[in-house]
Chains A and B, each alone.
Chain A
Amino acid sequence: MNKIVDINLRRAQDLVQDLVKDTAEELSASEPPPPAFAELLTTSNFSFLRGGSDPEELIAHAVAGRLTGLGLCDRNSMAGVVRAYSALKQLREDETTCQAAAGFRYVVGVRLVFADGTPDIIAYPTDRAAYGRLCRLLTLGNTREIEGKRATKGVCTLNFTDLADFAEGQLFILDPDDGDWDKIRGTLLALKKLARGRVWLAACCTFRGDDRARLNRLAALAREARVKLIASNNVLYHIPERRMLQDVVTCIREHITIFEAGRRLEQNAERHIKSPAEMARLFREHPDAIAQTQVFLDRIDFRLDQLSYSYPEETVGNGETAQATLERLAWAGAEKRYPKGIPEKISAGLGSELALIAEKQYAAYFLTVEEIVRYAREEKGILCQGRGSAANSTVCFCLGITEVDPMRSSLVFGRFLSTERDEPPDIDVDFEHERREEVIQHIYEKYGRDRASLTATVVCYRSKGAIREVAKVFGISEDTVDALNELSWSWYNNRDLKPERVKELGLDLNDPILGKVLRLAGDLMGFPRHLSQHVGGFVLTQDKLDTYVPIANAAMEDRTTVEWDKDDLDALRILKVDVLALGMLSCIHRAFDLMQDHYGRNLTLAGIRQEEDGPDLEYEHLDWDRKESAPVYRMTHRADTIGVFQIESRAQMSMLPRLQPKCFYDLVIEVAIVRPGPIQGGMVHPYLKRRLGFETPEQLGPGLQAVLERTKGIPLFQEQAMQIAVVAAGFSPGKADKLRRAMATFRRNGTIHTLKDDFLNGMLANNYPRDFAERCFKQIEGFGDYGFPESHAASFALLVYVSCWLKCHYPDVFACALLNSQPMGFYAPAQIIRDVAEHGVEVRAPDINLSTYDSLLEPGPRAAGRLHRRHAEMLGDIKSEKALRLGLRLVKGLGEAQADLIVARRGDGYRSVRDLWLRTGLPVAVLQKLAAADAFGSIGLTRRQALWAVRGLMGTDGAETLPLFTGSGPAPSRLDRVESLPEMAPGESVVHDYRTLTFSLKAHPVSFLRDRLDRRGTLPTERLLETAIRPGAVIETAGLVLVRQRPGTASGVIFMTLEDETGIANIIIWDRVFQANRRAVLGSRLLAVRGQLQREGLVTHLVAQSFTDLTPELTALANGFDLTDAALARADEGRTGPSRPDSRDGGELRRREALQRQARAALPGGRNFH
């Protein structure tokens, strides 16, 4: 969202610069200055799908057009008012525009649209109190229950009668629509009674041929009611050229095409901001209406910066001030953190931070966060951890909000809070994702719904949505829209629209309609579409929040949001607390509980970290492999990190063996380095080279040395990029931040070029060589939004370490917790299960008598003795002694409530399918799913037998379906007799496992094809790792396609992962090879790949040259045709009778398709990149 605001602001600035020039020339030409005029009826695009311009554009245009002021009044909403405020502020700060913007008045209002048919009334508060009343009126409308039902999100229901209680201090303008003159007259008189002397009647030239008569009529009405006429152009957009976009949004709103819209559109393009001279001409017979705009402005004494915000006091009630409480808690916390005495560095840091907090008066804010964290952790037992820039703060560490020990990392508190940067602090805290709602409700409860609310997020039209909507308006088929979207993808992401690419999609850029669609979609992009709730940002106030901003219901029950997003709140310096959700915390919490229950060990995040840190600071200087944490790091060197937080992705896994983390800070780097920022900035390879000692860091001079020393002279973190700008290029911190923002927005705009020049010149002036300066700039360019701040990476690295620790020592516990936290992370249950089995843990199938909804640990064999040879070196590290009993949640289509019912009614176990059915009363369809998942093993039924029995329950025999005789126990029915069903071939059984469970404990599907693959000369994937096969050798391997990835950073290269019974193989497919083999690459489930072996350290890739789609073999397997039984397979082919190549058998094809479909449905589809 930041991006959009920045673009809009920049745009506004440019606009003003251009226009000020133009009007200056015009002004000098015309002699008498036009009368002062301000536009007071404006609808921006925050009246969703009604306005055609951003608030920023309206403000900029009004400033440039020499209006004396502008009032923004959107429909029952204040959502856009801060945008305009920020825009004006920016114009005033910029030297090129400050003169034009200096005397300009911006007033905040709202267009009240009534549900009872009253014409629209525009309200402007004259002072802070009246503004509060107006917000409360809108809150009332937003949350009004209608017929006992909670108000729907986005609907504000107001009646004229509501106005009376909130009218004090407001100025009103009645907007007479051309409908019913009696109603206008009636409303005007009623309004007059409500607010004597504070009512105006809006007059506007509509250019419908009768303007003169209409103005006279309005003037007469105003005279009769003894109110004043006020001139306006009832603005919908800032310039007439916006009419087209305005027409388009009208069509979107009305769900019609532009060809059938007709008179639902405006007749002309007149509703733009007109110049004072033009307004004076139009109202030449009513000059007082123009003058009234100034009278009106003069009566308003409210500006948004008067919202002097007061944060909740957070005193503990013993007379102590918030600052005193904070200091007390911080020092107490420090003592707890450092039981052997608070180190010098810490006490110094605490002291200076506390002083700054006192100066800025943010103590209460820290206390709030501290209270929330303490509540979650101590009262609810919810794991939580601060992230982001807050981890730079020693105070946050001592308060227990963050876990990054300032003693062991170099924190830059300035990134978090500084005297120069006048921004409120921002503390983000992650909570377990499944339990965050408890925290949210606690905050609502503690502060009350009138003092706490979630922040809004403005959902904007992105390229795809914009194209889709505009194309619909032009009646373009869905199909073409899909093609267009592919186009827009390459357009806006690569900015590289190749004509042949367009042609390939069957589109013609010269087509007039298409050209318009693309153009208008481009214009619509960035328009706000609706308000949504922010993921977890809370606004808290001391007094009533709904006097600051209207509050509305969120889509979710029990949640409310304000109408402003985080940028708006920042602009008004209103604090917010971010309560975020993190799945890994839920998983770790589960793992800790399991450790307690099964191994009697009480673990905490800090405790595990302690082990890594060692008992004292001397421990740090020990060789890494003599530390207790060595096994954990050793595990990462083999990229054995499936399921681990952050470092489990393919890219991370290939980095691990090269980077070989040996201490906590290495993990911090690992987390930060595999990000688009460092990758695009070209930092990865230089860093690796230097780390491995192939290259020595250059001498950078003392300033940069301090900044870059810990990352071997390469900037890897966002802060470092900023610090380079400050230290080496002589930027002020504010300017450095501006640089960061410019990077984050658009690559090509004017400001970045000037900043680049400044940067390079600054570095040259400090005697850095030019090529070094350019390289630095390129590296910084890579950041923007795509780099991690160091503190954030450090917070994440802790979770990385903890999850690695669990996986290393207790793979059973880790896998169990991970499976119970699904969906989460990068891997499907199948890979997690396979991985844990390879680590020696016995995995047992889900069963109606033995499983619960969640997976469980059961007594089992010692894992260490059953390791796959790949993990042999972990023999001494793995301490697992449990078996993993998979939960019923892994059965596709079974709900939690149903699984719980099975457990609750189980007693001493179910004896038959019928028994289960009678006792639980579960629908037969659910039992069928259990049977298909082979969950009746404990009562001795095979999948087919169980299915047969379950299907028997459906029954034709009514009496038998009724559980009448539950007391006498289930009598075996004649229909229950187990039929002599054909036995399932093992291959078929495995495929069925995949179908119902997404994995199989019996065997891997590829293992059934091994004979055939051997005959082809296809190697098992594990043999790729054998050193006997030299890099460069051309070999073939085959497996199920697990993942296809096309990272945006890798210029068209596709990464593919194949899995067979021996392991996985990583395939690299160059774009050229991919284009020639699209079908095999994208369409197959089982694929054989021939290619050249590449090996770098422990990482082995196959660079694909050719492909063989083996999916039909799998299909055959799924049908139960054992592949060794060649006769049957032949019979299968032969049954279509004499082959007639020219007449294809439609029915048989359909049949085959159905079978293929089933097989496809059963097997993992492979994650695709589209």
Chain B
Amino acid sequence: MRLVELDARAEMAGLFATQSLADARALVPGLAVREIDRSAIAARFADFADWHSNASPLVAVLPDIAAYGDLVLDITGVTHLFGGEAAMLEKLTGRLENLGFAVTGGIADSIGAAWAMAHFAPGRIVSSDAAAALAPLPVAALRLAEPVIDGLMQMGLKRVGDLYGRNRPALAARFGAGLLLRLDQALGHVEEKFTPRLPLAEHYAERRFAEPIGLLDDVLMTARDLAIRLASDLERKGLGAQAFHLFLYRVDHQVTTLTVRAGRATRDPLHIARLFAHQAERLGGEYDAGFGIDMIRLAADTLAALDSAQLGAFGTRDGTADLDRLYDRMASRLGPNAISRIKFVNTHIPERAARLEPVLADTPDDPLAAPDPALPRPIRLLPRPEPIEVVAAEIPDGPPRAMVWRRVTYRFLKARGPERIGPEWWRHARPLASTRDHDDLPEGAPVFDADALTRDYFIMEDDGGRRFWLFRHGLYGEGANPAWFLHGFFA
């Protein structure tokens, strides 16, 4: 394992990226490390990029070096809003710095030159003669792959300026056409395009307002209208969607997004509108239109083929579609955790063998969790085992003759068992005893206390034909006097 990123204190301590964790630990004992989750960071950074759409509509993440870390904005035509280029740069970076981010920036006519400035001459604004500005920077400023940088360094070509006026075919032959492309891009000889974040969804409907709107009801009404338009669009293509996003573009350059999800692909406008309504209900006071909304866009996401015939009047209806729809509505109104269903769990312990989980959770079923038919389990399980008094149980593992439960005596005629179930010892907070002799236990290490209790289950039938499921908690000789409990009923 190696270090990938460090904070300022780690750096002060002499650690560096690519260092092996073992080395780092040797240097700094008790070092706190976290495993990096690149995709999560990339996702967070993408959100961060979206936020910048308030400065310029055209925002992109530059993935040339890493999936996160470099943000590019096309500021053509927006600088006047900030009082010029310098002020804009100051404002954008300053704002992030105030939030505690370490940030650098640069402005230039090409993406390449701006990147070079941001990384190697922070704060510079290159309005003309990019070549002169780039010349003293190291070749790494050209967004090159590590081996190419390495190769150039070996040749002694260390500055961007060293590359000017060299034999281009010779360079291309040695370092690939990519080097020249990057150089030309930085110098502005070749135009570089970027794909902005928040690309327009393939399937969407939008409406602009001459006058900004603000009321939530107006928003929801618009959402329904848009849903109808979107539905007909989707129907033509034979598609349905599982997620819908409602973008509320506010006049103050902010975007509020509402998202709803459906259990299965849908395009039913009324269903969609209702989901948004429920969502908005839950939003309650948090809804804020600011100075008004001047555009609303509804976009479909997670598309899946949806045959139009299935929605027809004579389509087969097994009821699951309705059930799913009910789940969607209940979940969007009451919250996703409010609706649950039973799921089998892979364990020997009877009361843990089934549990509730949200209906919308899509955890795969463990094939081993299905109950074993050879081990009979009662129809009803008491919420917690109830203590009983038993009469004349054979030692060590025989069934009782009778029991007293809630002050009523039951006499048993038949018995089956015992079925012996050991405790899930790994859940106990109590420490374990070693089963091999270690006389080298460290001072203060945990000591054993014998408290693991095994259960012996019996199926008992009484003289009235009632069948009970009861167990003795603890084996004879295992603890003190074992207690008996009633755990369930078969009939």
The interface of chain A, by Cβ under 8 A from chain B, is 11, 14, 178, 207-210, 239, 241-245, 247, 258-270, 474, 477-479, 482-483, 486, 491-492, 495-497, 499, 504-506, 509-510, 512-513, 515-516, 518-520, 522-523, 526, 746, 748-749, 932, 943-944, 947-948, 951-952, 954-957, 975, 977, 979, 981-984, 992, 1078-1079, 1082-1083, 1109, 1119-1120, 1131, 1135-1138, 1140, 1142-1151, 1153-1154, 1156-1158, 1168, 1170
Residue from the list B172, B369, B428 in contact with A262, Cβ < 8 A: B369
- In the assembled complex, the Cα of A1140 lies from the Cα of B35 at a distance in Å of 31
What string of 1s and 0s marks CB contacts (under 8 Å) between B271-285 and chain A? Answer: 000000000000000
Q: A1137 to B124, Cβ gap below 8 A? A: yes
| Known contacts A491-B442, A516-B432, A1120-B156; A264/B368 CB under 8 A | yes
Q: Does B56 contact A (CB under 8 A)?
A: no
What string of 1s and 0s marks CB contacts (under 8 Å) between B143-175 and chain A? Answer: 000100111011111100010001101101111
Chain A residue numbers with a CB within 8 Å of B167 are 977, 979
- A262 nearest CB neighbor, chain B only: B346
- In the assembled complex, the Cα of A1135 lies from the Cα of B151 at a distance in Å of 23
Nearest Cβ on chain A to B319's Cβ, whole angstroms: 32
Q: A1153 to B120, Cβ gap below 8 A? A: no
Q: Does B434 contact A (CB under 8 A)?
A: yes
Q: Does B63 contact A (CB under 8 A)?
A: no
Q: Does B375 contact A (CB under 8 A)?
A: yes
Q: B431 to A265, Cβ gap below 8 A? A: no
- A53 nearest CB neighbor, chain B only: B435
Q: A267 to B422, Cβ gap below 8 A? A: yes
Q: A209 to B459, Cβ gap below 8 A? A: yes
Q: B14 to A1083, Cβ gap below 8 A? A: yes
23 residue pairs from A and B, CB less than 8 Å apart: A209-B457, A260-B366, A262-B368, A267-B420, A478-B1, A495-B442, A496-B442, A506-B30, A509-B445, A509-B446, A515-B431, A522-B436, A944-B156, A951-B173, A956-B172, A957-B169, A982-B162, A1135-B137, A1136-B121, A1143-B122, A1146-B104, A1150-B17, A1153-B16
Chain B residue numbers with a CB within 8 Å of A1170 are 22-23, 26
Q: A954 to B174, Cβ gap below 8 A? A: yes
Stretch from B81-89, B295-303, B354-362, B411-419 contacting the other chain: B411-419
- In the assembled complex, the Cα of A239 lies from the Cα of B146 at a distance in Å of 60
Q: Does B73 contact A (CB under 8 A)?
A: no
Chain B residue numbers with a CB within 8 Å of A496 are 442
- In the assembled complex, the Cα of A210 lies from the Cα of B459 at a distance in Å of 11
- B140 nearest CB neighbor, chain A only: A1151
Residue from the list B26, B156, B416, B426 in contact with A981, Cβ < 8 A: B156
- In the assembled complex, the Cα of A947 lies from the Cα of B429 at a distance in Å of 65
Q: B348 to A262, Cβ gap below 8 A? A: yes
Q: Does B97 contact A (CB under 8 A)?
A: yes
Chain B residue numbers with a CB within 8 Å of A1143 are 93, 97, 102-104, 122
- In the assembled complex, the Cα of A1153 lies from the Cα of B102 at a distance in Å of 17
- B96 nearest CB neighbor, chain A only: A1143
| Known contacts A982-B156, A1147-B118; A512/B429 CB under 8 A | yes
Chain B residue numbers with a CB within 8 Å of A247 are 425-426
What string of 1s and 0s marks CB contacts (under 8 Å) between B169-189 and chain A? Answer: 110111101000000000000
Q: A1151 to B156, Cβ gap below 8 A? A: no
Q: Does B440 contact A (CB under 8 A)?
A: yes
Q: Does B443 contact A (CB under 8 A)?
A: yes
Q: Which 9 A-B pairs have the closest CB atoms?
A: A1147-B119, A262-B346, A209-B419, A951-B174, A497-B442, A982-B156, A207-B420, A1079-B14, A268-B422
- In the assembled complex, the Cα of A61 lies from the Cα of B241 at a distance in Å of 66
Q: B420 to A1154, Cβ gap below 8 A? A: no
Q: B22 to A482, Cβ gap below 8 A? A: yes
Q: Does B128 contact A (CB under 8 A)?
A: no
- A497 nearest CB neighbor, chain B only: B442
Chain A residue numbers with a CB within 8 Å of B140 are 1151, 1154
Nearest Cβ on chain A to B111's Cβ, whole angstroms: 15
Chain B residue numbers with a CB within 8 Å of A264 are 346, 368
Q: B346 to A975, Cβ gap below 8 A? A: no
| Known contacts A947-B154, A975-B169, A1153-B18; A1145/B26 CB under 8 A | no
Nearest Cβ on chain A to B235's Cβ, whole angstroms: 44
- A949 nearest CB neighbor, chain B only: B174
Residue from the list A210, A505, A983, A1138 in contact with B123, Cβ < 8 A: A1138
- A943 nearest CB neighbor, chain B only: B154
Q: Does B78 contact A (CB under 8 A)?
A: no
Residue from the list B23, B136, B433 in contact with A1135, Cβ < 8 A: B136
Q: A244 to B69, Cβ gap below 8 A? A: no
Q: A523 to B436, Cβ gap below 8 A? A: yes
Q: A1156 to B438, Cβ gap below 8 A? A: no
Q: A263 to B368, Cβ gap below 8 A? A: yes
Nearest Cβ on chain B to A255's Cβ, whole angstroms: 14
Q: Which of A208, A492, A510 has the most B CB atoms < 10 Å from its CB?
A: A208
Q: A748 to B437, Cβ gap below 8 A? A: no
Chain B residue numbers with a CB within 8 Å of A951 are 151, 155, 173-175
- In the assembled complex, the Cα of A520 lies from the Cα of B433 at a distance in Å of 9
- B175 nearest CB neighbor, chain A only: A951
- In the assembled complex, the Cα of A1151 lies from the Cα of B65 at a distance in Å of 12
Nearest Cβ on chain A to B357's Cβ, whole angstroms: 15
Q: A519 to B440, Cβ gap below 8 A? A: no
Q: A208 to B437, Cβ gap below 8 A? A: no
Q: Does B347 contact A (CB under 8 A)?
A: yes
Chain B residue numbers with a CB within 8 Å of A1138 are 123
Q: Does B43 contact A (CB under 8 A)?
A: no
- In the assembled complex, the Cα of A1140 lies from the Cα of B124 at a distance in Å of 13
- In the assembled complex, the Cα of A241 lies from the Cα of B169 at a distance in Å of 76
Given A477-B35, A518-B445, A1120-B156, 11 more A-B residue pairs with CB atoms under 8 Å apart are A269-B454, A491-B440, A523-B434, A526-B436, A951-B173, A983-B156, A1137-B121, A1143-B122, A1156-B16, A1158-B150, A1168-B26
Chain B residue numbers with a CB within 8 Å of A483 are 25
| Known contacts A268-B422, A519-B431; A1146/B102 CB under 8 A | yes
What string of 1s and 0s marks CB contacts (under 8 Å) between B22-33 and chain A? Answer: 110111111011
| Known contacts A1143-B102, A1146-B102, A1147-B118; A1078/B26 CB under 8 A | yes
Q: A260 to B16, Cβ gap below 8 A? A: no
What string of 1s and 0s marks CB contacts (under 8 Å) between B8-24 and chain A? Answer: 10010110111001110
Q: B430 to A262, Cβ gap below 8 A? A: no
| Known contacts A241-B433, A262-B347, A268-B454; A505/B157 CB under 8 A | no
Q: A516 to B118, Cβ gap below 8 A? A: no
Chain B residue numbers with a CB within 8 Å of A979 are 166-167, 170
- In the assembled complex, the Cα of A482 lies from the Cα of B1 at a distance in Å of 10
Q: Does B318 contact A (CB under 8 A)?
A: no
What string of 1s and 0s marks CB contacts (under 8 Å) between B396-431 and chain A? Answer: 000000000000000000001111111001101111
Q: A515 to B446, Cβ gap below 8 A? A: yes
- A1144 nearest CB neighbor, chain B only: B102
Q: A1153 to B104, Cβ gap below 8 A? A: no
Q: A522 to B104, Cβ gap below 8 A? A: no
Chain B residue numbers with a CB within 8 Å of A477 are 35
Nearest Cβ on chain B to A1096's Cβ, whole angstroms: 30
Q: B419 to A243, Cβ gap below 8 A? A: no
Chain A residue numbers with a CB within 8 Å of B154 are 932, 943-944, 947, 992
Q: B102 to A749, Cβ gap below 8 A? A: no
- In the assembled complex, the Cα of A382 lies from the Cα of B345 at a distance in Å of 65
- In the assembled complex, the Cα of A1095 lies from the Cα of B102 at a distance in Å of 52
Q: Does B479 contact A (CB under 8 A)?
A: no
- A261 nearest CB neighbor, chain B only: B346
Nearest Cβ on chain A to B289's Cβ, whole angstroms: 36
Q: Which of A266, A479, A513 has the most B CB atoms < 10 Å from its CB?
A: A479
Q: A981 to B422, Cβ gap below 8 A? A: no
Chain B residue numbers with a CB within 8 Å of A266 are 422
Nearest Cβ on chain B to A812's Cβ, whole angstroms: 33
Q: A506 to B104, Cβ gap below 8 A? A: no
- A490 nearest CB neighbor, chain B only: B442
Chain B residue numbers with a CB within 8 Å of A523 are 434-436
Residue from the list A479, A1079, A1151, A1168 in contact with B138, Cβ < 8 A: A1151
